[in-house]
């Protein structure tokens, strides 16, 4: 029987879902309230697990041709080098993180969706849902089809998800009061440009990853973040700057009958661990397979336990790097003494970051 599917949200999770469903023989409708792909984004790394998932759809080679391989992350205490977490030690077809902005990832996914004759309706938002005879009437603010009926509703519409609200699913968790700073900024810096860097200070931490050419992404919970850049770093133009607060939240359920949540609609967490976009792609892959097999009822049971565990681990990592508890301060201030444990700890951290 033909399944009519609506995807609300055309970010990486929603676009991936549309492609995965199309490959299984469906022609989903996908809408997004934004006018187009935004110029700026917080997500910037594709892990090996995502590259593995995307390969059968012809997307991985396009990602690899566009992005940049990051094969290690270095840990620093103030200006002193502590440890290199070498991703190439992983036995995998893709032993690296691929640096590629969310904007570029969305553009490649959008191109593939259009190649599959999936039309993305921008400036089009879901306003409400009504259940009727095992189907859903979706009220859409569009001049073309103000309301339509669907068998499945996919909520890939972000942290303020209308789908989640319409499905009466609670979003459990908390928000940190502390503000983080983020910059995409031109730098001439002495640290290795093809590797990532985590700079740890008594007051908190900063992450540095080069995007392309001389433009770096820096983010952290330090006040006057730019003032903590490595010695002998010259600063050029600021391309983008933003401030944000971290949420750690997981939806109380990832499904309500034939409504399913993906990506930020299902879970929010800090950027530490580079999980956000990657988890959303993985959500979409698993959910698409289960819809096709008529087993969507198992999605929440299969997926939510993993999501909760992952978000908890991200929270622990974030608090270790940037928290202000006595234990976090102890770890940061004694990092040089504790580095003897890193060869035992970091392989686990490496696998976690890489989605393996």
Residue 22 to residue 27: CA distance in whole angstroms: 6
Q: 99-108, 236-245, 263-272, 312-321 — which is least confidently predicted?
A: 312-321
| Burial label, 161 (beta-carbon count in 10 A; 0-12, 13-18, 19+) | buried
Please choose, from the candidates 320, 318, 315, the residue with its C-alpha nearest in 3D space to the C-alpha of residue 331.
320
Q: Where are the domains of the chain?
A: 5-69+99-175+247-327+346-353
Longest dimension (CA), the chain: 67
Nearest Cα residue to 217 out of 247, 239, 244, 233: 239
Q: Given pLDDT bands bounded at 50, 70 and 90, which one contains residue 208?
A: very high
What's the pLDDT band for 325 if we cut at 50, 70, 90? confident
Instruction: Give yes or no for residue 20 having a pLDDT over 90.
Output: yes
Cα distance between residue 102 and residue 96, in whole Å = 17
Is the pLDDT at 184 greater than 70, yes or no?
yes
Q: Is the pLDDT of residue 182 over 70?
A: yes
Residue 133: is its pLDDT beyond 90?
no
- Which residue bears the tokens 């996914």? 109
Q: Give the predicted TM-score (pTM) of the model.
A: 0.93
Fold of 5-69+99-175+247-327+346-353: FAD/NAD(P)-binding domain (3.50.50)
């Amino acid at each position: 029987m033909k399944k009519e599917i609506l995807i609300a949200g055309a970010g990486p999770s929603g676009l991936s879902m549309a492609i995965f469903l199309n490959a299984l023989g469906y022609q989903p409708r996908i809408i997004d309230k934004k006018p187009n792909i935004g110029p700026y984004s917080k997500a910037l790394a594709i892990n090996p697990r995502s590259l593995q998932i995307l390969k059968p759809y012809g997307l991985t080679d396009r990602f690899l041709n566009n992005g940049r391989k990051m094969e290690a992350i270095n840990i620093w205490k103030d200006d002193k080098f502590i440890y290199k977490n070498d991703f190439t030690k992983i036995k995998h077809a893709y032993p690296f993180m691929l640096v590629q902005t969310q904007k570029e990832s969305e553009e490649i996914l959008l191109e593939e969706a259009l190649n599959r004759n999936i039309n993305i309706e921008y400036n089009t938002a879901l306003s409400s849902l009504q259940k009727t005879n095992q189907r859903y009437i979706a009220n859409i603010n569009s001049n073309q089809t103000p309301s339509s009926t669907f068998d499945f509703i996919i909520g890939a519409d972000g942290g303020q998800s209308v789908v989640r609200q319409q499905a009466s699913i609670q979003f459990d968790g908390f928000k940190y009061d502390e503000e983080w700073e983020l910059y995409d900024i031109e730098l001439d810096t002495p640290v290795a440009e093809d590797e990532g860097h985590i700079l740890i200070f008594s007051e908190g931490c900063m992450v540095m990853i080069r995007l392309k050419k001389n433009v770096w992404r820096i983010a952290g919970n330090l006040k006057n973040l730019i003032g903590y850049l490595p010695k002998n770093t010259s600063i050029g133009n600021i391309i983008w700057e933003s401030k944000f607060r971290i949420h750690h939240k997981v939806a109380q359920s990832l499904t309500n009958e034939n409504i399913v949540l993906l990506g930020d609609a299902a879970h929010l967490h800090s950027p530490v661990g580079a999980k956000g976009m990657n988890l959303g792609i993985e959500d979409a892959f698993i959910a698409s397979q289960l819809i096709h097999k008529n087993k969507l009822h198992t999605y929440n049971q299969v997926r939510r336990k993993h999501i909760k565990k992952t978000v908890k681990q991200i929270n622990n990592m974030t608090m270790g790097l940037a928290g202000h508890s006595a234990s976090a301060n102890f770890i940061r201030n004694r990092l040089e003494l504790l580095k003897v444990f890193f060869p035992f700890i970091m392989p686990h951290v490496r696998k976690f970051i890489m989605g393996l």
